[in-house]
Amino acid sequence: MTLPGGTIECSLTGSGPVVCLVSTLSGTWVGQIRALREHFTVLRYDMRGFGRSTSLNGFPANEEHGDDLARVLEALEIPRATIVGLSHGGVVAQQLAIRHPERVAGLVLVSTFARARGSTRIFLNLLNGFLEQNKFDEFWQVLKCFLCSEANWSSVMGREQYLRKQMFDQYTVDSLRAIYGGALVHDATEKLADLRCPTLVIGGDEDMLFPPAITRALSQAIPNAGLELLPAAHVPPVEVPEAFNRVLLEFCSRVAVEGARA
């Protein structure tokens, strides 16, 4: 579909209440789509400027990505959806919920943050520094250390080339710089206090990039938000899909029931 400033490619599968999966990491949601589409309509899309979606004006700010998602939902005639955002996708999901709360039936924020501080800010500056110097290989060598826990390192890194291809080969240094530069200026702490939709925050208890303290701070910034820490690092949907899917399905089902009663 055509939006102001570019085009958006999206797909729908399954039936039932809509769950939108938001991430700039292509291939991240494979294990969740199979589980969700038995009970829900699953919406996936490429953010403008990433994947198959085009941007006429460079890479949008996170606020613009949030506006884009609202337009996607409107164009597809989806009044409200449960929004599930991972990492950068979680930042975009926050912007949608802040700027277009009427579109959000429920909100799931995975491995993301309200504001970069402490070790998170140090690591984001380190990663962004490699990108500023066009050192993509060095960037990947550091980033991959955040992706999984020690317990699952061998099994996950045994698929390193596959993961790198699925998650990162679509990116240019410029697109990654847009993500990490945007992360460094993201601060939604005060505005998150106004959210009233059902919200669940999920993190990995071994995530070095967004450690439990950051995950707890995010959940505490949102009124009545639930919190789940799973035995994983930065990508629980990939590392511990069964545990992640159980928590996600329980939340989405509860939102659907509450929506039906409203």
Instruction: List the domain boundaries for the chain.
Output: 2-115+187-261
Residue 246's pLDDT is 98
Q: Which of 15, 206, 197, 178 is nearest to 94 (CA)?
A: 197
Fold annotation for 2-115+187-261: Rossmann fold (3.40.50)
Contact, 139 vs 131, CB < 8 A?
Answer: yes
Q: What is the DSSP string of 88-119?
A: HHHHHHHHHHHH-GGGEEEEEEES--SB--HH
> Which token pair is 181?
């530069």
Average pLDDT, integer, range 114-122: 95
Query: Mean pLDDT, the chain, as a whole number?
Result: 92
Q: Name the residue with higher pLDDT: 212 or 167.
A: 212
Residue 107 has pLDDT above 70, yes or no: yes
Does pTM surpass 0.75? Answer: yes
Higher pLDDT, 238 or 82: 82
Instruction: Give 156's pLDDT tier (boundaries 50, 70, 90).
Output: confident
Q: What percent of the chain has pLDDT over 70?
A: 97
Residue 2 has pLDDT above 70, yes or no: yes
